[in-house]
Structure 1
Amino acid sequence: MSIYNKILVVADINKDEQPALARAMQLAAQSRSRSKVCFFLSIYDFSYDMTSMLSVDERDAMRRGVIGQREQWMHKVAKPYTEQNQNVDFDVKVVWHNRPYEAIIAETFAGNHDIVIKGTRKHDVLESVIFTPTDWHLLRKCPSPVLLVKNSDWPENASILASVHVGSENDTHLGLNDSMVEQLNSLSERLGAKPYLVNAYPVTPANITIELPEFDPNTYTDAVRGHHLTAMKALRQKHGYDEQQTVVEQGLPEDVIPESATKLNAAMVIVGTTGRTGLSAVFIGNTAEHVIDKINCDVLALKPKGYVSPLDPKTGA
């Protein structure tokens, strides 16, 4: 399956190195058909809109001047990446918008992009990834898959993990599992990585053994593990995976997934996110987001089929 041929890349205005563009061009180079890459930037300066001494036309001219300067800079920093791959229709776009994530999502809809790729901030001392508010908004509201990239270079002998949720019988989770495996297959082939399916199953709640003295925690744990192993077997057989390519571990996903990523030399982890917004995002907390915060590699976040972004222009949001 050929995927991700219309790629929206978010520029990092703070440095010349563009890891997101590097990953986009890498994906484009391995595509079976010609790809389109849009190198995108949203800029805004409050002072340009509040200068009362200037006319509307003068303010517009100043904005166009700033946009033109940014476009020149983007062409310059993109040159090393585009020169290596001629099989790409490359474009640069700069817009004036005071909310970057809204501008990115609007362009995703307008350009019908397959994926949004954006670099993350790396903390050099702790080697951890710091996700910005824009990152979180994109993970929750972007209609297309979002790939957050840490490093320009793809490591040798790398693997890609899909954080599947096999213990659930919920249709949303089941559909996401299949989508994640499909993406895993395609990306592993294009990036030359080994694919793995990883699942975490819950620890027996301690309070149950206190409240129910006759309760046998070992029997319960064995039953839960057995259920997850059976469900994982069904998923891997459905998609033609070997047992050695699956991991089923007891614990919280936010612990099991990062540990597995480190152990298996993962360069990317694929997660499913339900795209919670509003109060549910604040109080309930999305498992995927807890996982993402602890992963020290690229992260690809997928929405369930049928997901409707709150910023979809067709809904009037």
Structure 2
Amino acid sequence: MDAFRHVLVVVDPADEQHKAINRALHMARLSDARLTLFLSIYDFSYEMTTMLSSDERDTMRANLIADRKAWLTDLLADYDTVDVRIDLEVVWHNRPFEAIIETAIKHQHDLIIKGTQVTSSIQNLLFTPTDWHLLRKAPCAVLLVKEHAWPEHGQIIAAVHSGSDEAHHDKLNVRIIEHAETMSKVLKASVHLVNAYPGAPVNVAVEIPEFDVTQYTEELEKHHQHKMQELGRRFDIPENQQHVAQGLPEQVIPDFSEKLDAELVVIGTIGRTGLTAALLGNTAEHVLERLNCDVLALKPEGFVSPLA
């Protein structure tokens, strides 16, 4: 597959480091991607005033949008943008995630880049609602950028579910590995496959005394390793870059990310909405909270955003 060609870069005025812009420019120089710097603005007080006519409110919005575009232009003046194709887009919208998704659909962007961060404070472990909505509802791949650098000859993790024989898992595995390999060519990096598998169910071991936990675990490990080797052969990924470990994905993937000092984890995410999302969350989201590197989150092929 080709590298990303049309990238929507979400600008956060509160992020003084502008991680998303830096990462996007890095990618554009390496892959010739076209960038759209995007900013969503809204001020409720302007909408509520009764002293302005409808036309006056429209003029006011247009002036504010023009002012923010000028700010983006000034911001770019501090960067080396030679030979990088950049568009600017500012919209008036009261829900930033909807504005991002609507723009991505309208202009057929194939990647959304957004900066994010997690502090050490327990109160700030969760990402913003915009991050979560993008993971669940964005029509294209989402790259959430943290602080980790992108050096050449680094490591990229493709987080796969190799033990399943279900067709949708296999298709998502292929999608994840293909994107990881594309990014590895852009970054001159190595791709590592990482798969987590569960331990023996505790309730079975308790309720069925003759249940052999050790044998079950060994057979399960062999099964996952065999499936991982098959995946590795399909994509010419050597065995020393295939990793299978017992545990939850949100434990195993961050552990290998730290061990390998990975700059990017590519992971599949399935959109969820409503009560299911609130109660169960999403494996990708739980993994995200524990990673200190960038995450490229992919939807299954054929996913249609609920906002489309």
TM range (shorter): over 0.9
After TM superposition, the structure 1 = structure 2 runs for residues 285-300 of structure 1, keeping only pairs within 5 Å, are 285-300=281-296
Partner residue in 1 for 2:87: 91
CA spacing shift, 1:218–1:15, aligned 2, 3 Å: closer
Partner residue in 1 for 2:51: 53
Work out whether residues 204 and 217 of structure 1, in 8 Å CA contact, stay in contact via their aligned partners in 2.
Answer: yes
Select the residue among 133, 138, 142 that pairs with 1:146. 142
Work out whether residues 121 and 130 of structure 1, in 8 Å CA contact, stay in contact via their aligned partners in 2.
Answer: no
Partner residue in 2 for 1:23: 23
Work out whether residues 141 and 299 of structure 2, in 8 Å CA contact, stay in contact via their aligned partners in 1.
Answer: yes
Work out whether residues 164 and 197 of structure 1, in 8 Å CA contact, stay in contact via their aligned partners in 2.
Answer: yes
Partner residue in 1 for 2:178: 182
Work out whether residues 19 and 152 of structure 1, in 8 Å CA contact, stay in contact via their aligned partners in 2.
Answer: no
Work out whether residues 37 and 89 of structure 1, in 8 Å CA contact, stay in contact via their aligned partners in 2.
Answer: yes
Secondary structure of 1:221 counterpart:
helix
After TM superposition, the structure 1 = structure 2 runs for residues 186-225 of structure 1, keeping only pairs within 5 Å, are 186-225=182-221
Q: Deviations over 1:184-233 (max 9, x none)?
A: 11101111222111000101122212111111001100110011001000
CA spacing shift, 1:226–1:124, aligned 2, 3 Å: closer
CA spacing shift, 1:152–1:230, aligned 2, 3 Å: closer
Percent identity of the aligned residues?
49
- Pair 1:250 & 2:246 matched: yes
Partner residue in 1 for 2:76: 78
Select the residue among 240, 259, 263 that pairs with 1:263. 259
| Counterpart amino acid of residue 167 in structure 1 | G
| Equivalent-residue separation in structure 1 for 2:245 and 2:265 (angstroms) | 16
Q: Deviations over 1:20-43 (max 9, x none)?
A: 111112111112xx4311000111
CA spacing shift, 1:30–1:155, aligned 2, 3 Å: closer
| Equivalent-residue separation in structure 2 for 1:258 and 1:15 (angstroms) | 25
| Equivalent-residue separation in structure 2 for 1:193 and 1:79 (angstroms) | 30
Unaligned runs of 5+ in 1: 313-317
TM-score by length of 2: 0.95
Runs of 4+ in 1 over 6 A off after TM superposition: none
Work out whether residues 3 and 114 of structure 1, in 8 Å CA contact, stay in contact via their aligned partners in 2.
Answer: no
| Equivalent-residue separation in structure 2 for 1:26 and 1:66 (angstroms) | 30
Work out whether residues 121 and 131 of structure 1, in 8 Å CA contact, stay in contact via their aligned partners in 2.
Answer: yes
Q: In terms of mean alpha carbon deviation, does 68-77 or 299-308 score higher?
A: 68-77
| Equivalent-residue separation in structure 2 for 1:129 and 1:305 (angstroms) | 30
CA spacing shift, 1:219–1:124, aligned 2, 3 Å: closer
Partner residue in 2 for 1:117: 113
CA spacing shift, 1:22–1:202, aligned 2, 3 Å: same
CA apart distance, 1:285: 2.9
Q: Deviations over 1:162-202 (max 9, x none)?
A: 11001112222111100111011110111122211100010
TM-score by length of 1: 0.92
CA apart distance, 1:76: 1.6
| Equivalent-residue separation in structure 2 for 1:273 and 1:103 (angstroms) | 21
Q: Deviations over 1:220-275 (max 9, x none)?
A: 00110011001000001000100011110011111000011000001111110111
Residues paired across the two proteins, number:
307
After TM superposition, the structure 1 = structure 2 runs for residues 55-70 of structure 1, keeping only pairs within 5 Å, are 55-70=53-68
- Pair 1:167 & 2:144 matched: no
Work out whether residues 148 and 292 of structure 2, in 8 Å CA contact, stay in contact via their aligned partners in 1.
Answer: no
Partner residue in 1 for 2:37: 39
Partner residue in 2 for 1:8: 8
Partner residue in 2 for 1:307: 303
